[in-house]
Amino acid sequence: MTAVSRAWKVLKELGLITRARGEGGKSVITKLHEDGSGQAYTIPGEGLGDPYFQLPFEYWDKGWHNNLSLPGKAMLLIASSQRKLKFTLPQERMPEWYGISADSAGKGIRELMKHGILVQVDEEWFDTLKMRSGRGCRPVYSLWPPFTPRALGEPTIGEETTTGISSDAAPKE
């Protein structure tokens, strides 16, 4: 029993739990936030500012963990981490930002688009010195349900998009 008491003591000192005496002298343990701040525990991914994201159950249930290649899985995780309905995935920045090659990022993006997990919903113009005109264009993407981050709603695809997918189209499996 002393090993368990020592473990509870360490967790309490780390600010991961509170420990109090309850009914009949038994310990009542309450978990706290995992950052050690002593704040109340919250379920990961519930708030928009929360750094955690979750892959939906369908990722495993529908076999995506077996069917996607490594570049596809990497780009799904990167896209999921964006925590927005619409986002860009600049392939030339992937080595610097995420440590994967631009080629692997491109393969992953194409694979996710082929399966209807990732869709292009718009284009974004930006200023750049790499182009003679000083302006560049890049695609804006959205994850299709069930991969859309919770609490953000459903993506919409307007008539003007270049994907050819209507807003009532279902993702391919």
Task: State whether CATH 1.10.1740 applies to domain 58-143.
Answer: no
- pLDDT score, position 126: 79
Q: Which residue has the tokens 């050690």?
A: 36
DSSP structure string for 11-71? HHHTTSEEEEE-GGG-EEEEEB-TTSS-PBP--TTSSTT-S-----THHHHTTHHHHS-HH
For the segment 110-132, what is each residue's pLDDT rounded down to a tens digit?
999 999 999 999 998 878 777 78
- The rounded distance, in Å, linking the Cα atoms of 148 and 58 is 12
The helix or strand, by DSSP H or E, that contains position 100, with its residue range, turns out to be none
73 — pLDDT class (breaks 50, 70, 90): very high
Q: Are 33 and 41 in contact (CB under 8 A)?
A: yes
96 — pLDDT class (breaks 50, 70, 90): very high
Tell me the domain boundaries of the chain.
Answer: 2-31, 58-143
For the segment 130-157, what is each residue's pLDDT rounded down to a tens digit?
778 888 889 999 999 899 876 555 555 5
> With 90 as the cut, is the pLDDT of residue 173 above it?
no
Mean pLDDT on 29-43: 86
> With 60 as the cut, is the pLDDT of residue 172 above it?
no
DSSP structure string for 31-43? EB-TTSS-PBP--
